[in-house]
Chains A and B, each alone.
Chain A
Amino acid sequence: MTQAEIKLCSLLLQEHFGEIVEKIGVHLIRTGSQPLRVIAHDTGTSLDQVKKALCVLIQHNLVIYQVHKRGVVEYEAQCSRVLRMLRYPRYIYTAKTLYSDTGELIVEELLLNGKMAMSAVVKKVADRLTETMEDGKTMDYAEVSNTFVRLADTHFVQRCPLVPATENSDPGPPPPAPTLVISEKDMYLVPKLSLIGKGKRRRSSDEDATGEPKAKRPKHTTDNKEPIPDDGIYWQANLDRFHQHFRDQGIVSAVANRMDQTSSEIVRTMLRMSEITTSSSAPFTQPLSSNEIFRSLPVGYNISKQVLDQYLTLLADDPLEFVGKSGDSGGGMYVINLHKALGSLATATLESVIQERFGSRCARIFRLVLQKKHLEQKQVEDFAMIPAKEAKDMLYKMLSENFISLQEIPKTPDHAPSRTFYLYTVNILSAARMLLHRCYKSVANLIERRQFETKENKRLLEKSQRVEAIIASMQATGAEEAQLQEIEEMITAPERQQLETLKRNVNKLDACEIQVDETIFLLESYIESTVKRQ
């Protein structure tokens, strides 16, 4: 774990769970797997607080535990999972686009609470949806359950590993920590629940009370006393599936940018067909025949078979190699090269970074070196048609930032510098790693700056919150317009200006974090995919 990653994890944990959890979490990330007493001793916090913090971390899947010999339980933190916390808004938004508000709230509840039982999720989401609906309308549990089942069918939520059923023949005391198991086929199995009921509003308005007949009241109370039917079956959000979705989105939009809308639709269809059949880390999808693709195209698209074939040939011939032809049966078998696609996306990211940071001439040199693999100084100047002095300057700038590297090829065995070739080359994997590291640093800087801005203006923020509270309470009790005006004037005009600036800055910093996270996702996917193939 690099220092930049640890710093970012520390900031994320502190923002979301408080300082105590942050201290314990960062200590575990730094030192690896440790038992409880050692953690308490090393961090200097009381045992109780360590226990509380570990419970929170385990609940949110950030720390795992293992029983070692002699009954010692060791805890290990998962740094990469902590970094995913940056991406929560993107997961929730994706769920909203796919399954509308119900899906959005289900995923939000699962992410905020780590693990939850299905009945609890359904109840909470129904209540929340009822809050936002008009008076008199309530959200039915059945609808929420349906959305939940659909999320499970498409693998967006999955079951957490279960406590194994204890056998009676097991001698001896129970182990200090259960070893949870889950089988592949059970992961998306939704338990048969008959959840009947409607969402309840939080505010106790009399309208609801008169609306519901008295018979329903005792029913609700008995529901609380009954044991939850799916006790022990917990669900969590399946982040890998979301990542797969993001990756598909990235590929489709790349094809749309490079070619046209129709080809991107074709690629989207192909990806959708191989969603369940291909694992997320495969280098390319299962081969699909052109006939199958034709049958699975969305209904609104009426392009003829010939046009489809032409598009597929075009896609397969494209130098970017997103789509490849793997055979001729069934009208042509086509695959999507996931690994190559990720590589192209990562390369495009690198090029874009260089262009925005150093200028378009530098980007030209970079693309040139990328294309020709190895180039000498003189050749760079010739091919790029840039005067020597400028070309040198740009090459050294990129070299110093580690986007480009030098490859030495000695002519003589004594490696004399005057008799050695120095070739410029781009190693995409190492450049991607370096950029990823910079991204982590950037996000850490953004979060720190945002916290600094908020702290600077803390007094002003508190004052404005108080004023709002006063206004709200006065409005509730029915105050006159003049009084409200007076209260509003408590915040002077320059203070209002300051608040506006603060809000704008904080929004900008937040938007930056989200943007950098998209780059982080691309680079991480590419690095992961490359490392697996090696």
Chain B
Amino acid sequence: MASRGGGRGRGRGQLTFSMEAVGIGKGDALPPPTLQPSPLFPPLEFHPVPLPSGEEGEYVLALKQELRGAMRQLPYYIRPAVPKRDWRRLPRELKIRVRKLQKERTTILLPKRPPKTTEDKEETIQKLETLEKKEEEVTSEEDEEKEEEEEKEEEEEEEYDEEEHEEETDYIMSYFDNGEDFGGDSDDNMDEAIY
């Protein structure tokens, strides 16, 4: 207990190895203490050697990028599937219309007629579309092999997703009009004279 008090006594402050052997002589300045982790991008003392350029390097580079693109198009690239949603909870109009008819159709039930709102032609077409969707929704639930159908639906949803995207770009493309309509529109709204 006496020797333990305060760490005093013989041999206090001695290390197991002599400082000279390691190479730190007496009176040498020690390196500054490390107070924080080393920086994420430590500064480079020497510049890295330039990359190989020239015909071979460029050709291999182009090959690499081509291969990357090509592998994405091959059938071996499996895209993550769209999750199956519960269509009972979401508005009917959000369901993507399934284009292809599915196999093993049993009986086509009479679709319930939704209440008539207006007699606009477009709305009747939309109604027919929703009827179609409902009909396929109902018959699809009666399919036996659910797994297969899941897969197919996912694929078809996927297919339609891409088409939807194409439609999206169509919409955006229409933004880039030549500007022929521009003069006409402004004429309607402007009250002041055109100078």
Using a CB–CB cutoff of 8 Å, the interface residues on chain A facing chain B are: 15-21, 48-49, 52-53, 56, 59-60, 88-90, 92-93, 108, 112-114, 356-359, 377, 388, 392, 417-418, 420, 422, 466, 470, 483, 486-487, 490, 507-508, 510-515
Contact = CB atoms under 8 A, between A and B. Distances in A.
Contact of A88 (B48, B49, B67, B151): B67
A511 B176 contact: no
B78 A16 contact: no
Interface in B2-56: 16-18, 21, 23, 45-46, 48-49, 51-52, 56
Contacts of B76: 16-17, 21, 56, 59-60, 113-114
B77 A93 contact: no
Interface residues of B, number: 37
Interface stretch (B57-65, B100-108, B110-118): B57-65
Contacts of A60: 76
A56 B78 contact: yes
B89 interface: no
Given A17-B71, A470-B173, A511-B52, A49 B60 contact: no
Nearest to B17: A417
A48 B147 contact: yes
Contacts of B46: 356-359
Contacts of B1: none
A417 B78 contact: no
Contacts of A90: 60
Nearest to B66: A89
B80 A16 contact: no
Nearest to A487: B176
B169 A466 contact: yes
B51 A52 contact: no
Given A392-B23, A508-B51, A511-B52, A18 B60 contact: no
Given A56-B76, A89-B61, 16 more contacts: A17-B71, A17-B76, A18-B80, A49-B78, A60-B76, A88-B64, A89-B60, A92-B63, A356-B46, A417-B16, A417-B17, A417-B18, A418-B18, A483-B178, A510-B61, A510-B65
Contacts of A422: 21
Interface of B: 16-18, 21, 23, 45-46, 48-49, 51-52, 56-57, 59-61, 63-65, 67-68, 70-71, 74, 76-81, 147, 151, 169, 172-173, 176, 178
Nearest to A60: B76
Contacts of B51: 508, 511-512, 515
A467 to B, nearest CB: 9
Closest 9 CB pairs of A and B: A417-B17, A89-B63, A89-B64, A418-B18, A511-B51, A16-B71, A392-B23, A18-B78, A56-B76
A200 B70 CA distance: 20
A21 B178 contact: no
27 contacts: A17-B71, A20-B78, A48-B151, A49-B81, A52-B78, A53-B78, A88-B67, A89-B63, A90-B60, A93-B59, A93-B63, A113-B74, A356-B46, A357-B46, A358-B45, A359-B45, A377-B23, A417-B17, A417-B21, A507-B61, A510-B65, A511-B57, A514-B57, A514-B60, A514-B64, A515-B51, A515-B52
Contact of A514 (B61, B151, B173): B61
Contacts of B173: 466, 470
B11 to A, nearest CB: 14
A49 B178 CA distance: 47
A245 to B, nearest CB: 15
A52 B75 CA distance: 11
A17 B80 CA distance: 11
B79 A18 contact: yes
Contacts of B176: 470, 487, 490
B143 to A, nearest CB: 16
A112 B74 contact: yes
Contacts of A88: 64, 67
A17 B78 contact: yes
A403 B87 CA distance: 62
Contacts of B60: 89-90, 93, 514
A15 B68 contact: yes
Given A48-B147, A417-B21, A422-B21, A511 B61 contact: yes
Contacts of A486: 178
Nearest to A507: B61
Contact of A356 (B48, B52, B56, B81): B48
Contacts of B78: 17-18, 20-21, 49, 52-53, 56
B59 to A, nearest CB: 6
Max chain B C-beta neighbours (<10 A), residue from A19, A358, A420, A510 = A510
Nearest to B51: A511
A112 B67 contact: yes
Contacts of A49: 78, 81
Name the residue among B23, B59, B172, B176 with the largest chain A CB count within 10 angstroms: B23
Nearest to B44: A357
Contacts of B178: 483, 486
Given A418-B17, A422-B21, A19 B80 contact: yes
Given A18-B80, A422-B21, A89 B67 contact: yes
A332 B152 CA distance: 72
A88 to B, nearest CB: 6
A100 to B, nearest CB: 13
Contacts of A92: 63, 67
Contacts of A56: 76, 78
Contacts of A114: 76
A511 B16 CA distance: 50
Contacts of B147: 48
A406 to B, nearest CB: 11
A522 B28 CA distance: 43
**Best-surrounded residue of B63, B76, B79 (most CB of chain A within 10 A):** B76
